[in-house]
Chain A
Amino acid sequence: MELKEKLVSSFLAFENKGGLDLDSNVHSIRSKAIQNFEKEGFPTKKDEEWKYTSLKSLLKKDLGLFPSTDKTIGFKDIKEYLINDIESYTLIFIDGVFNSFLSDTTHDDCDVCVLSSALTRPKYKMIVDNYFNTIAKDNNSMAELNTAFTKEGAFINIPKNTIVQKPIQILNFSTGKEKEVMLQPRNLVVVGENSHVQIIERHQNLSKNTTLTNSVTEIFVHKRAIVDFYKIQDDTKDSSIVDSTFVTQKQQSIASVHTYSFGGKIIRNNLEFYHEGEHITSNLNGISILNDKQHVDNHTLVNHKYPNCESHELYKGIYDDKSTGVFNGKVIVEQEAQKTNAFQQNNNILISDGAEINAKPQLEIFADDVKCSHGCTIGQLDESALFYMQSRGIPKKEAKALLLFAFGNDVVEKIKIPQLKTRITKLIAKNLGVDLGFEL
């Protein structure tokens, strides 16, 4: 049976067996979503938005939709994936199921808990009704699919005037009890006026089995709030992810989403920013370092709708072996959005002959008093710089790594959590296959 039919036919069972409330609002949202998915199906290469990325090889697999969870997973198994040299709230999901034993949640100043309880408890009804699936709906078929199978994920609700002192880590593990699984985590983040929060998200496969994660995150940023969201994608070579992140911003807020793609079979990121007020700043940063036959596809959209807003986008890519990269950055400046300042840059380095990059920086501008620019480059390392370093006794491999490291450093510099910065630096060094020999 095809995966699409399997998904559609198991929808009823999913709602009934899962003990989900069939009278709720959420039920009608789910039903609508599965209808939309059934109509649209999985994206194919014929869709302009999926021109360079094909999910075909994954969809052929017999993916298990409701994996059984491995209860034997302990702290030692997941320790290395946590950033544990800082205090933080943690939300640990194992095979899509929340693990309260390993997690550290709170309800004190703010809510850092799970979506399943938010969807069912009357206390959160208003928040769910106001926010859940308001930006993700009618966007793309993968997001619709996730909505239909929404059950679990992170729920973060920060009230007004709250500075969350500790970063929040969201970790999704798959243990590979089944050979091939599909996971659909769903996160909802609401940040109130004048509040500040930092979130780190990671998906990790603990086995060598195949996983396909179809994740959706909705982030609502209210007036003058500041949100930093870090995504670490350093998964195994058999793991794929389709990640859709939607951000809605109110006036004077600052939202930054950082994407670090270092590993995975197919990585597809849909990152979209929608503005609902003036003087908004949106930051999009990304770095991709891939080798082997890995594939990364970064699709971004910044929709400028109001005057006096800014967006800064910086994506860097280093592609080795037979890896392929896609960058599609869309910036829309609507007629009302005068005095917009939109900047976009995409730099790529191809290290080997089999590597490939497809870039499409796209500007659509309907307002005249704006400052918009984009730049895109594809090139290789500067031979003379390499020679200079070699002539001073630095081996070629290290010299190369240093130059590549310097190339990606602009993006790494934007990380505001020092411990995370160290971790990312180490990951970059690991991916470049060298020990840099210095701490940054």
Chain B
Amino acid sequence: MNKFTEDDLKKELETKEYEYGFYTDIEADKFPIGLNEEVVIAISKKKNEPEWMTEWRLDAFRIWKEMEEPDWANVNYEKPNFQDISYYSAPVQKPKLDSLDQVDPELLKTFEKLGISIDEQKRLSNVAVDIVVDSVSVATTFKKTLNEKGIIFMPISEAIQEHPELVKKYLGTIVPKTDNFYAALNSAVFSDGSFCYIPKGVTCPMELSTYFRINEGGTGQFERTLVIADEDSYVSYLEGCTAPARDENQLHAAVVELIALDDAEIKYSTVQNWFPGDAEGKGGVYNFVTKRGLCEKNSKISWTQVETGSAVTWKYPSCVLKGDNSVGEFYSIAVTNNFQQADTGTKMIHLGKNTKSTIISKGVSAGHSQNSYRGLVHIGPRAKNARNFSQCDSLLMGNLCGAHTFPYIEAKNKTAQIEHEATTSKIGEDQLFYCNQRGIDTEKAIALIVNGFSKEVLNKLPMEFAVEAQKLLEISLEGSVG
């Protein structure tokens, strides 16, 4: 199959619009651009969804139509035209390459720096893997283990078919369709995503990752993730990949919902390295994500994120601490370079007694980028003995970037204890000099210092991820010293 470029598509659409209609099983793997109720129905049909799901999507679409795109975030970008996007495309099969020699050398260089194994490199760059150690077979073994434990881990489209009772019960309960503009849009048109259910008392024996979800090439434009940890269970979930994703989609609006029932614990780690646009700030992915978790009694949700990609990031992983003694954590590193803009942070809503939350946010800005922390700590009137600690540190490199903090702190209970601190600084010239003096060149020295600066967050990542993330930070800041 030949590579199907956007130009081809455009041409095709201009000439062949609506030729196929919506209900026939067409061969083309993209819908015509535009969004209306018919498109929403068509997406639902395509996925062979039950009627309640179609209705649910339509409802979300009607809500979305009434909403306005938010503009309160500290980011500037050209607003996408929502009628200019195709809302469904099956994963495009990229041409198989015979060997690594055919791969873009730039990409290979990055792989090398990240320390990705040859096999992995081949998989990522779509080179046919013909060695015995097939990633697919590894994945199959994992699947077996999960099955034995009763853990459900599958694409959400399959879950809608196979476990409708679970999906119906929880989907949209944490991030309702009315929540915000992008959440409503996602609810209407989400293409796919992951579904994960950990039964009572089960500790998931491995890090769950989209990586092992076979047959799922590429990231969906409108991903929907639902993770349910039943009573007394534990799961660690990884999302994203350290490898640079050269995604064609400009707009990404994902929704992630986490539910931790009594005594359960969910650890959710994200590494995001989507195309940030070129050095002049052209192109790049818009990343507008809604992530939220609900904690029941004695449960814990921990968000860890390393954000290095995307031209515009707009993302606030939050915890609703509903149950007594529940714990919410947020660890984040956001690195922006060139013309990237990031407005990210968290919301900790304390509703139950003795709830605790910790926020550690590190921002590194270089080039012409703007990096904002925006967070809310809310202590409700019934949240006795709630405790919060927040720390946001910013590191500025160069004189053209900006670092901003917008923390909101609301306390309605006298027993609340809240501490918030923020600092902004630059890499000390004495620190650099010290490193130079010992034979470490400036670029390496900066990487060293940035890694030290982000240590508290990197430590929270699962082992394998942490190593790669560390290298990723170095790469993201390459060339920022001048």
Contacts and interface: CB of A to CB of B under 8 A. Distances in A.
Contacts of A370: 396, 424-426
Given A373-B424, A374-B422, A377-B420, A361 B414 contact: no
Interface string B377-405: 00101000000000000101111111111
A368 interface: yes
Interface of A is mostly: strand
Contact of A368 (B379, B419, B426): B426
Given A372-B423, A378-B418, A358 B402 contact: no
Interface string A352-371: 11011111111111111111
Contact of B426 (A350, A351, A359, A369): A369
Given A368-B396, A368-B398, A368-B399, A363 B405 contact: yes
Nearest to B376: A360
Interface of B is mostly: strand
Interface residues of A, number: 34
B416 A365 contact: no
Contact of A362 (B381, B399, B405): B405
A393 interface: no
Contact of B424 (A353, A355, A363, A379): A363
B52 interface: no
A335 interface: yes
B460 to A, nearest CB: 24
Contacts of A48: 72
Given A350-B414, A357-B411, A360-B406, A365 B424 contact: yes
Contacts, number: 110
Contacts of B425: 370-372
A52 to B, nearest CB: 8
A256 B405 CA distance: 25
Nearest to A359: B409
Most chain A beta-carbon contacts within 10 A, residue among B399, B411, B414: B414
B360 to A, nearest CB: 15
Given A377-B418, A378-B416, A356 B411 contact: yes
A437 interface: no
B394 A362 contact: no
A376 B407 contact: yes
A363 B399 contact: no
Contacts of A360: 406-409
B416 A379 contact: yes
B412 interface: yes
Interface string B223-250: 0000000000000000000000000000
Contacts of B148: none
A19 interface: no
B406 A351 contact: no
B39 to A, nearest CB: 34
B411 A378 contact: yes
B417 to A, nearest CB: 5
Contact of B402 (A348, A365, A375): A365
Contacts of B412: 356
Interface string B156-175: 00000000000000000000
Contacts of B406: 360, 362
A376 B391 CA distance: 10
Most chain B beta-carbon contacts within 10 A, residue among A335, A353, A371: A353
B410 A358 contact: yes
Given A353-B381, A379-B417, A361 B411 contact: no
Contacts of B397: 368
B407 A365 contact: no
B262 to A, nearest CB: 27
Contacts of A376: 407, 409, 418-421
A378 B388 CA distance: 10
Given A370-B424, A379-B417, 14 more contacts: A48-B72, A350-B411, A350-B414, A351-B414, A357-B410, A359-B407, A360-B407, A370-B396, A374-B405, A376-B418, A377-B420, A378-B379, A379-B418, A380-B417
Interface of B: 72, 379, 381, 394, 396-426
Interface of A: 48, 335, 338, 348, 350-353, 355-380
15 contacts: A350-B416, A357-B410, A359-B408, A359-B410, A360-B408, A365-B396, A366-B401, A366-B402, A368-B396, A368-B399, A370-B396, A371-B424, A371-B425, A375-B420, A376-B421
Instruction: Give the 10 A-B residue pairs with the shortest CB-CB distance, closest first.
Output: A368-B396, A350-B414, A378-B418, A359-B409, A376-B420, A372-B424, A368-B426, A366-B402, A373-B423, A375-B421
